[in-house]
Structures are given as C-alpha cells and as structure tokens.
C-alpha cells in the first residue's frame, strides 16, 4: 500500500523535497505520527491536510494510491 505525500511551501523546504511515499499507513492520524518521526523539523510548522485534493480536518482513512498533501497556511494574492 503506497501513499504519496506532497509537501508545499515551507514544509517542502524543511523536508528538502516536494514528495515522498509512505507505506502501510491506515489513516491520516497514523500518517501524522510517521511524518513527525521522519521529519522532526516539522515540529513548529502548522499545516492542514488534503486527501486527494479534499481538505480534511478529522482523521481520514487512507487507501492504496491516495495522495496526501500537507498545506501550510496559504499566502497567495
């Protein structure tokens, strides 16, 4: 089971990449734990999560092939 994780803005900078793949994460809560283990530099960063481009603010199950985007506060315009 592959979950693609996309990083944007400051998180892409902190992760030093735009994208990575996680395996065997059943939901977004589990993903967050793994993210903070793999990227301790995210500790001070706030972000919201989109699963397949839909924003979610609660724990969301993940399936093979899901794309999870980590979105820091927006600053367009």
Partner 1 sequence: MAEKSVKNIFTQGAIEPVFISDSIAKHSSKTNIGAHSIFLGQVRKDVIDGKDVVAIDYTTYEEMALEKMHEIREAVFAKYPLACMHIRHSLGKVDAGKICLFVFTSSAHRKVAIEACEEVVEKIKAELPVWGKEIFEDDTHQWKENK
Does the protein bind partner 1 through residue 32 (CB under 8 A)?
no
CA distances, 36 to each of 17, 66, 69, 76 (Å)? 15, 19, 15, 26
Measured from the CB of residue 3, what is the shortest distance to partner 1 in angstroms?
Answer: 16
**Is the Cβ–Cβ distance between 73 and 46 less than 8 Å?**
yes
Does the protein bind partner 1 through residue 72 (CB under 8 A)?
yes
- 49-68: contacts with partner 1 (CB under 8 A): 50, 53
Q: Quick one: which of 8, 30, 34, 60 contacts partner 1 (CB under 8 A)?
A: 8
Instruction: Give CA–CA dist 38/77, Å, rounded.
Output: 32
Closer CB to partner 1, 24 or 41, in the complex: 41
Span near partner 1 by CB under 8 A; candidates 2-10, 20-28, 30-38, 57-65: 2-10
**Is the Cβ–Cβ distance between 1 and 24 less than 8 Å?**
yes
């Amino acid at each position: 089971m592959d979950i693609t994780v996309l990083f944007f803005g400051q998180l892409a900078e902190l992760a030093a990449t735009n994208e990575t793949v996680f395996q065997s994460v059943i939901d977004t809560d589990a993903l967050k734990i793994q993210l903070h283990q793999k990227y301790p530099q995210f500790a001070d960063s706030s972000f919201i999560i989109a699963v397949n481009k839909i924003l979610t603010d609660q724990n969301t199950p993940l399936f093979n092939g899901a794309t999870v985007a980590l979105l820091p506060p927006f600053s367009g315009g």
